Amino acid sequence: MRGGMNYFVTGITGFVGQQFLASLSKREGKIFALVRPGSVKKIEKMRFEHGLSADKLVAVTGDLGEKLCGVDPAQLDNVDHFYHLGAVYDLTADQAQQKEANVTGTKEAIALAEKLNVKCFHHISSIVAAGFYP
């Protein structure tokens, strides 16, 4: 029997995600963190800062702009909760950047969560998730 619930988190390397990790890391279970290949070092730093092992905070390389966030659902253990925090919060970003991260990224996060059969999908969003507002 596994200990605790398992979590999948997008946007963990951002400001909100880092604050969230401080709380989530106190719970039992694994935390799977979606990161771009170039951000894996950030996860290593976060493990060190929070005293977490590679078994506790697991980097999953992918991208919100890819189908199923670029993740093969078969490579993940039972995921109970999916936290979608990843987004572009920069209002000076152009429409294409905002749409890929906030609209397409959210659709792909939901699709991945469905494939993982998660019990609960949690979403923190900017207004841009509903479309571009100049």
E strand segments, 1-96: 7-10, 31-35, 57-61, 81-84
- Global pTM reads 0.88
**What residues pair up with 81 in beta bridges, in sequence order?**
7, 120
Instruction: Report the relative pairing of strands 120-123 and 31-35 from DSSP bridges.
Output: unpaired
Residues of the chain with pLDDT under 70: 1-3, 126-134
Residue 1 has what pLDDT? 47
- Separation in Å, CA 48 to CA 18, 44, 129: 13, 6, 32
Residue 126 has what pLDDT? 62
